[in-house]
Amino acid sequence: MRAAIGSEWTKLWTTRTIWWALLAAFVLMAAAAGQNALYVTNGDIDASSAGDVAVLSVAIAQLAFVALAMLVMTGEYSAGTIRATLSWIPSRGRLLSAKIVVVAGVTLVAGVVAGLLGGVIAAGILDDSSDIAVSAVKIGIYLVLLGALATGLGAALRGPVVTLVVLLMAIVVIPPLLQIPDISVLNGIADAFPGVAGNHFLAGDSDPYPPAGGLLILMGWTLLAVLAGWRTMKRRDA
């Protein structure tokens, strides 16, 4: 397992994708945090601390992290290198686990750094530096689970376009559409989607479930995606 993780780690850092994705994530986080902090000062949105602004801003930055995690898996299928990878690591479960471990390590560290960056920028505008560290850690945890979900889904769907579309639909598009009519049944369905559950965890909301409930729901979606990816890899040839 250690050799598989080392191989995937080296493979990841020798591609241009990760550098562009991380750069995009930090730029998006900085821009969103600055804009949201200005909105707070103008009274357009409600946030009580710089940490809250960082949490609001991760909704934009997460797109770059999702793209990075997804391409770790789908990129191999698109380029055809998955055949060589499976010849080196025949065990599908070991390969998928190695990729998830590498993605988790990168997204945890980069997510915390992005959260700190957003909090510091917001603090400079709001003249308030509270909750930055706590929010940054929560952002890191959220992005780890989201990255694992994207990796598992990428293994199940294989194509980068279809994987990205499904992720965006589940995280960004469908939940707001369900919430627009403000019907309790549709709101309940939206609350069960991974993006909404993750936001409950990040924001510390207690309605309709506690933050820990949001974290558990997101973990459940992640587990399902990983199991689906593992099953697909076991049943289908490269």
Structure tokens at 115: 């959260």
Spatial CB neighbours of 144, under 8 Å, sequence gap ≥ 6: 104, 107, 108, 111
What is the model's pLDDT at position 224?
96
Mean pLDDT computed over every residue of the chain: 92
Grouping H, G, I as helix, E, B as strand and the rest as coil, residue 116 is helix
Q: Which of the four pLDDT bands, split at 50, 70 and 90, describes residue 43?
A: confident
pLDDT given at position 146 = 96
Question: What's the pLDDT tens digit per position in 139-174?
Answer: 999 999 999 999 999 999 998 999 999 999 999 999
Closest by CA to 86, choosing from 16, 1, 4, 156, is: 4
pLDDT at 8 over 80: yes
* DSSP-H helix ranges across the chain: 2-13, 16-41, 50-79, 82-88, 92-126, 132-157, 160-168, 174-179, 184-191, 194-203, 211-235
> pLDDT tens across 108-128, in order?
999 999 999 999 999 999 988
221 token code pair: 């979606």
How confident is the model at residue 47, as a pLDDT? 81
Q: Is the pLDDT of residue 18 over 70?
A: yes
Whether pLDDT at 183 is above 80? yes
User: Helix axis angle, 50-79 relative to 16-41, nearest 10°?
Assistant: 160
Token readout for 89 is 């690591």
The pLDDT, as a whole number, for residue 76 is 86
Quote the pLDDT of residue 77.
87
Q: Higher-confidence residue: 42 or 58? A: 58
Percent of the chain residues past pLDDT 70, beyond the cut: 100
CA distances (Å), origin 53, targets 24, 141, 179, 183, 189: 19, 17, 22, 28, 26
pLDDT (tens digit per residue) in 66-108: 999 999 999 888 888 888 888 888 888 899 999 999 999 999 9
Rounded distance between C-alpha atoms, residue 55 and residue 50, angstroms: 9
Q: Is the pLDDT of residue 238 over 70?
A: no
Whole-angstrom distance, CA of residue 211 vs CA of residue 169: 23
Asked if residue 163 lies in contact with residue 153, where contact means CB atoms within 8 angstroms, the answer is yes
